[in-house]
């Protein structure tokens, strides 16, 4: 039986890369839905922000 050691901790650059991708994706989604010219998309995002008690005005 062979066991393979899997590193438990990733390098700092991998963590920063993942954080940057998550931040970029989240910011893009917020701005695309918040400034959407499609009323249903914009209103859904607006209502979701209110439901989560997030100020948006």
Q: 56 near 46, Cβ under 8 Å? A: yes
pLDDT at 7: 65
Per residue in 1-51, pLDDT (tens digit) is 677 766 666 678 888 999 999 999 988 887 887 777 888 887 887 787 788
pLDDT at 5: 66
Q: CA-to-CA distance for 37 and 19, rounded, in angstroms? A: 29
Q: CA-to-CA distance for 2 and 5, rounded, in angstroms? A: 10
pTM above 0.85, yes or no: no
Percentages helix, strand, coil for the chain, rounded to the nearest 5? 65, 0, 35
CA angle 11, 19, 52 (to 5 degrees): 145
Q: CA-to-CA distance for 54 and 47, rounded, in angstroms? A: 10
pLDDT at 56: 67
């Amino acid at each position: 039986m062979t066991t393979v050691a899997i590193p438990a901790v990733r390098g700092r650059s991998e963590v920063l890369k993942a954080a940057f991708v998550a931040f970029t994706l989240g910011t893009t989604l917020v701005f695309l839905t918040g400034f959407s010219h499609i009323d249903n998309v914009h209103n859904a995002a607006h209502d979701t922000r209110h439901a989560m008690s997030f100020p948006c005005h």
